[in-house]
Amino acid sequence: MTQEDAPAHAPIRAHNPLPAQDLRIGHGYDLHRLEPAPPAGKGRPLIVGGIRLEFDRGPVAHSDGDVLLHAVTDALLGAIAGPDIGQLFPDTDPAHAGEDSSRYVAEALRLVHEAGYAPVSLDATVVLERPRLGPSKQAVRENLARLLAMPVDRVNVKGKTHEGVDAVGEGRAIEAHCVVLLARASGA
């Protein structure tokens, strides 16, 4: 039977050059409400990908509220079918109050390596109305590459608006999506 003769519901067989266990993909997502930042308000400064953005609003969060690093952490953990960020770093634990989110990425990366994998590519989107991410995008990419020990040309970050729709579009929230590709580490 040729592919043309196969019933419409039959799966199409494609050649996969790598065994399934050699590649893993993970998706991460996070969202935080925004409120006035210090000194006028009680919120935190706006940090995205480990880079502080000048803005009069900041995230409502238990940790430093870095929406992008939270999404990266969950993407890494998801790729190895691990626990999520809330299971590893519960917001009910006072030890995590105000914590630098790069610690979460470091722990997720440790677990990735322990599972025998290494990140080879990352693509992320940060959604916020203001401030524009463009002026800080290269610094964010470089910081993510440093945190993940990856070449910067394998890290992509995009900034998008929400076109005035919902809390993100009204400037009351920020969100991030991240997809990470892992490959089995040599010798694993």
Q: Take residue 182 and report the two structure tokens written for it.
A: 């892992």
pLDDT beyond 80 at 107: yes
Beta carbons within 8 Å of 127's beta carbon, 6+ residues apart: 159, 160, 161, 162, 168, 174, 175, 176, 177
Residue 47: the pLDDT is 96
- Evaluated on CA atoms 66, 128, 138, 54, the torsion sign reads negative
Q: What is the pLDDT of residues 41-99, one digit of tens each?
A: 666 899 999 999 999 999 989 899 999 999 999 999 999 999 999 999 988 888 888 88
Residue 14: the pLDDT is 54
The full set of domains in the chain, from first to last, is: 21-184 (3.30.1330.50)
Element (H, E) at 75: helix 67-79
Q: Percentage of the chain surpassing pLDDT 90?
A: 73
